[in-house]
Amino acid sequence: MAERLENTRKFQADVEQCMKCGFCGYFCPIYREEHEEKGLARGKDQLIRSALQGEQDLTKGFYEAIDNCLLCRTCVQYCPAKTRIDHAVTAARADYVAEKNLPPAKRIVFRYVLPHRRLFGLALRLASWFQGLLPRGQGRFRHLPQFLSALGAGRAIPDIAPRFLRTILPERSPAAGAPKYRIGFFSGCATEYVFPEIGEMIVDVLRNLDCEVVFDRRQGCCGAPVYLSGDFHTARKMAARNVEAFEDYDYVVTGCATCGSGLSEYPTYLADTPEKKERFERFAAKVKDFNKFVIDVLAADLDRLTLKPRFHGKTVTWHDPCHLARYQEVRTQPRKILQALEGLRFVEMSDADRCCGLGGSFSITHYDVSRKIADHKSDAIAACGADAVVTACPGCMIQLRDALARRNMDVEVLHIGELFTVRPQSKQT
């Protein structure tokens, strides 16, 4: 049998950083709603420390504490002692899952549905058929009826797309000009099944910026929702498959903040041998968020970006996804793009990098708090007067649309890739 708390022990030094000042409370979106110590990084840290000292069993109460975290890293960003509670919580979840297994719903989804692309598609088809029976909200959103309260009573969920990205996008999209790079496009589940048109648009932008784009069919789920929930075992298989598929490209580009950070963190959580660690690190270095790739890697001439006519005269604001701003340090790049788009007005909302409250499955298991956290976002969006909120994370988009719909706010939620097209290489150069 594996050593008890094998994963957590690897992050023992992180756990022991905490000096109990409690400053995390000010930054924790959950604590700011609940005001209870167990929700706080300090509380979680103390429980995990206690487990490492052999004074705390992996009880239901322990799981509730470590499960009640968005992994938004806001507290990590400001922690004076630089405590990596995100590492500690993720590893503690893994040890819990290893000892006690996942809750049944997550078990089925992670172990049987997510790893099998075809089955996933089928399951979603079936779901979309059921969705047809649900009351329709605005646009492509539906309201979940009361009896599905496990998924959050009254919440708006997106329609499953009529055609998945795989059936729309060719495997290879040639560069418009002389190819600069050969890149692998990592769509991620939400883009593949819910927002396939965003996937198409991103690929189109990259192609016109002279990249050969391959939508490699071998890709699967990035594994982030799986390993961040503690199922390292399943996620290792997913990681193996994605690394295998993508390691020969110049870059792996994704329009999903969570996938980007999810792929980049393979070495932290999933490398169980030194060889794998090295291989995962090499792979992670190739992973680039769409914004970062356009600005930092391609250093694209932003004059070539043309705002789509339907956005002319609109005012937009940017929502920083946690997985972009805090996990990948991508903050300035999307703002540069938005500010460069002629005909568009850009305004900052207050606390643009405040978590939207989704936290993956957190929004399903803790919908009540998740919704309250999202309401602060709606307030900030309303106050800045934007017609649309732009971001680069399909997860955040789903959450924001739900939040804005609940308030009947007439504000669009867009992926940055939807806003513009790229003019072919300008003639004057």
Partner 1 sequence: MAYEQFANRLADIVGKANVLASEEDRKVYSYDGTSTWTHKPDLVVFPTETEHVEAVLKLANENRIPVTPRGGGTNVSGGSVPIRGGIVLVMTKMNKILSVDAANLSARVQAGVVLMDLQTALAKERLFFPPDPQSFLGATLGGIIAENAGGPVCLKYGVTKQYVLGLKAVLPTGRIVEFGGSTVKNVVGYDLVSLVTGSEGTLAVVTEAVLRLLPLPPARKTIIALFDDLPKSGETVGKILDAGTIPAKIELLDNWVVRSINRITGMGLPEDAAAMLMFECDGTEDVVEHDSRNVIRVCEEVGATQVLVADDPAKAQAYWKARSAGFAAVFGAAPTVLAEDVTVPRTRMAEFIQRVTAICKKADLEVTVIGHAGDGNLHPSVMTDAKDPAHFQKAQRAVDEIIEAAVEFGGVLSGEHGIGLEKQKFMRRTQDPIFIDLMRNIKDIFDPNGILNPGKIWEDRSG
Nearer to partner 1 (CB atom), residue 171 or residue 351:
351
Our CB check for partner 1 shows the closer of 67 and 289 to be 67
Nearer to partner 1, 42 or 288 (CB): 42
Cα-Cα-Cα-Cα dihedral sign, residues 24, 30, 34, 38: negative
In this complex, which beta carbon is closest to partner 1, that of residue 51 or of residue 389? 51
Residue 46 CB, nearest distance to partner 1 (Å)?
6
Could you tell me the smallest distance in angstroms from the CB atom of residue 24 to partner 1?
A: 8
Q: Tell me how far, at minimum, the Cβ of 25 lies from partner 1, in Å.
A: 5
Q: Which residues contact partner 1 (rule: CB under 8 A)? A: 16-17, 19-27, 35-38, 40, 42-43, 46-47, 50, 56, 59, 61-62, 64-65, 78, 80-82
What angle (nearest 5°) sits at the alpha carbon of residue 78, between those of residues 73 and 82?
85
Q: Which is nearer to partner 1, 173 or 370 (CB)?
A: 370
Chain-centroid distance of CA 375 in Å reads 19
Q: How far is the CB of 198 from partner 1 (least distance, A)?
A: 36
Q: Give the shortest CB-22-to-partner 1 separation in angstroms.
A: 4
Q: Between 158 and 230, whose beta carbon lies closer to partner 1? A: 230
Distance in Å, CB of 68 to partner 1, minimum: 11
